[in-house]
Structure 1
Amino acid sequence: MKIGIDAMGGDFAPHEVLKGVKDYLQEAGDAAQVVLIGDEEKLNALLAGADLPQASYSVVHAPQVIDMHEHPTKALKEKPQSSIAVGFGALAKGHTDAFISAGNTGAMLVGALYSLKTIEGVLRPTISTIIPKEAGQTGLLLDVGLNSDCKPEQLNQFAIMGSVYAQNILGINKPRVALLNIGEEEGKGNLLAQATYPLLKENKHINFVGNAEGRDIFIDKADVLVCDGFTGNIVLKMAESLFEITERKGIKHEYFDLFNFENYGGTPVLGINKPVIIGHGISKAKAFKNMLALAQKMIEKDIMQKLAAELKP
């Protein structure tokens, strides 16, 4: 098993990437081979003092970097030797089994959509986020930004993908799936919600429990919350701000600590045929360690194959 990681992606790369790799290799019981993708000269200089077991990693040279402000599609075309482009190339050719980056999010999404194949039958891939609940459990919210405008059929597929992920990665038996809406009653909401509800209700692949309101997001009402990416991204950014506010004000509580994104690493792109995990631009060692652990778990659990089985036309 080989996991490719963009060693140059993120505000604190490559130093924090290598720290995260070291922590992952030390803590993982049966760690995967890590393929560091980036400027070979810079990486080798840092690796000389990193104390990493040489058999546990390799370096693939990628002299270019896509900066955070660059236009994703244009940058991928103009920088074919960037760490993101090379990383997707290695994944597409089967040289690695997963790819991770905390670099340009747009470039990661474009790369995932155009460098790899979607799972047969998937209308649109999706991205999700972990939702911490009041009692200490975790749930899943999707989509959170990849698909701002959605069709009911797409939300129906998101529900299946989220359910498979929650069961296999979060360890939730028979995940409860809810549609994020402005009311609990059937028939509530905008045209999208009204048209999606009956599809979810008839979907035999999920355990649908009805509508969930905004006040239900952080309590134990459902394990998988489904919405369009516009709504989901607003919820995601609001949740991130809660953690930032508590940090600034020195408010200490174990529940608010659950909002720290580094605990979960990054978000996978669901609906494509190979594991791709996108990290936050400000990721540090803990986040990179957890992204590597998540990638390994996705490979070991055959998540893409299980998604394909559930989504088979």
Structure 2
Amino acid sequence: MIIGLDMMGGDFAPLEAVKGIQLYLSETDSPAILFLTGDEAQLNPLLQEYNIPADRVKVVHAPQVIDMHEHPTKALKEKQQSSIAIGFHLLATGKTEAFISAGNTGAMLVGAMYSIKAIEGVQRPTISTIIPKENGKTGLLLDVGLNADCKPEHLNQFAILGSLYAQHILGISNPRVALLNIGEEEGKGNILAQNTYPLLKENSQINFTGNIEGRDVLEDKADVMVCEGFTGNVILKMAESIYDITHRKEIRHEYFDRFNFELYGGTPVLGVAKPVIIGHGISHARAFCNMIKVAQKMIEADLMNKMKASFEA
């Protein structure tokens, strides 16, 4: 198994990425081989300093970096020797089986959409976030920002993609799928919600349990919660603020600690043909470690082929 990792993406790259690799190798019994894209003059001394075994990594020199503020499409086109562009080339040509970056989010999304492409039948790929439940369980919310405007057919597909991810990666058997709405009753909500409900209700590939409200998101009412990306991103950013506020005010509780994004690493782009994982720009070692673990789990579960088979059906 070979996983590609952009070493130059993120505010604390490449140091935190190297620390993340060290953490991953120390915690994993059968680690993947890692192809590291980035400036070898910066990477090689750090890999030696942190005693990264040479037989577990391969540095693929990438002299350019796509900065956070750059236009994604333009940057990918003009910086073909960047760590992100080379990472996608390795993935597209089969030299790696997954690609991870905490760099320019737009460039990662453009690369996923046009270098790897969507699974046949998927109208729009989506991104999700982990939702820590009050009772200790874990939920999945999608979309959380990739698709601000959606049609009912898109939400119906998000439900399938999220259900497969919850089942095979989060280990939730027969995950309960719910539509995020302003009321529990069928027929509630805006035009999008009203037209999405019957599609989800008739979808035999998911375990649809109806509508949930905003107050239910952190409760154990559903395993997969579906909405358009505008609403999902608002919830995601609010959830991130819960950890920041409780941390600043020194409010200590194991539940609030679970809102730390580093525990989950990054978000996979669901609906594209190969595993692509996008990390937060402020990722530290633990986040990089967990991103690699998620990528490995997706490969081991053969998740992309399961998604492909679902849409062929």
The TM-score range, normalised by the shorter chain, is over 0.9
The residue that corresponds to 2:48 in the other structure is 48
Q: Distance in 2 between matches of 1:64 and 1:148?
A: 31
Could you give the per-residue CA deviations for residues 118-168 of structure 1, whole angstroms, max 9, x where no partner exists?
111000000000000000111000000000100100100000000000000
Alignment of 1:279-294 (within 5 A): 279-294=279-294
Query: Given the alignment of the two structures, is residue 245 of structure 1 paired with residue 245 of structure 2, yes or no?
Result: yes
- CA-to-partner distance for each residue in 1:183-217, whole Å, 9 max, x for gaps? 00000000000000000000000000000000000
Letter in 1 for 2:308: A
- Residues 60-75 of structure 1 correspond to what in structure 2 (within 5 A)? 60-75=60-75
**Aligned-pair distance for 1:40?**
1.0
Show the counterpart of 1:6.
6
CA distance in 2, matches of 1:311, 1:73: 28
Report the equivalent of 2:304: 304
Q: What is the 5 A alignment of 1:1-313?
A: 1-312=1-312
> For 1:245, what is the secondary structure of its paired residue?
helix
Deviations 1:22-55 (A, max 9, x none): 1101111100001111001111121221201111
Q: Name the CA distance, whole Å, in 2 between partners of 1:41 and 1:12.
A: 17
For the residues of structure 2 that align with 1:295 and 1:48, how far apart are their CA atoms? Answer: 25
The superposition leaves residues 211-258 of structure 1 with CA deviations (integer Å, 9 ceiling, x where unpaired) of 000000000000000000011000000000111000111110000000
Residues of 1 paired with 2:172 and 2:188: CA distance?
A: 28
Gaps of 5+ in 1: none
**SS of the counterpart of 2:141?**
strand
SS in 2 for 1:157: helix
SS at the partner of 1:107? helix
CA distance in structure 2 between the partners assigned to 1:309 and 1:26 by the alignment: 35
Q: 2: CA distance between counterparts of 1:287 and 1:44?
A: 21
SS of residue in 2 equivalent to 1:194: helix
**Alpha-carbon distance, 1:68 to partner:** 0.7
CA–CA distance in structure 2, aligned partners of residues 49 and 16 of structure 1: 13
Give the letter for the 2:57 counterpart.
Answer: Y
* Alpha-carbon distance in 2 for matches of 1:106, 1:162: 22
Q: Deviations over 1:250-288 (max 9, x none)?
A: 110000000000000000000000000000000000000
The SS at the match of 1:209 is strand
TM-score (norm 1): 0.99
Deviates more, 1:121-130 or 1:69-78: 69-78
Distance in 2 (CA, whole Å) between partners of 1:155 and 1:308 is 17
Q: Which runs of 4+ in 1 moved over 2 A?
A: none
Superposition TM-score, scaled by structure 2 size:
0.99
Q: Which amino acid aligns with 1:20?
A: G
- Please state how far the C-alpha of 1:302 moved relative to its aligned partner: 0.3
The residue matched to 1:23 in structure 2 has which SS?
A: helix
In the TM superposition, residue 311 of structure 1 has moved relative to its aligned partner by 1.5
Q: Secondary structure at the match of 1:149?
A: coil
Aligned residues: 313
Matches of 1:42 and 1:264, distance apart in 2: 27
How far off its partner does 1:117 sit? Answer: 2.1
For residues 78-111 of structure 1, the C-alpha deviation after alignment (integer angstroms, 9 at most, x for no partner) is 1111100110010000010000000011110011
Which consecutive unaligned segments of at least 5 residues does structure 2 have? none
User: Percent of counterpart pairs with the same letter?
Assistant: 72
Aligned counterparts of 1:71 and 1:189: Cα–Cα separation in 2? 36
Q: State the AA in 2 paired with 1:26.
A: S
SS class of match (2:49):
coil
CA apart distance, 1:310: 1.2
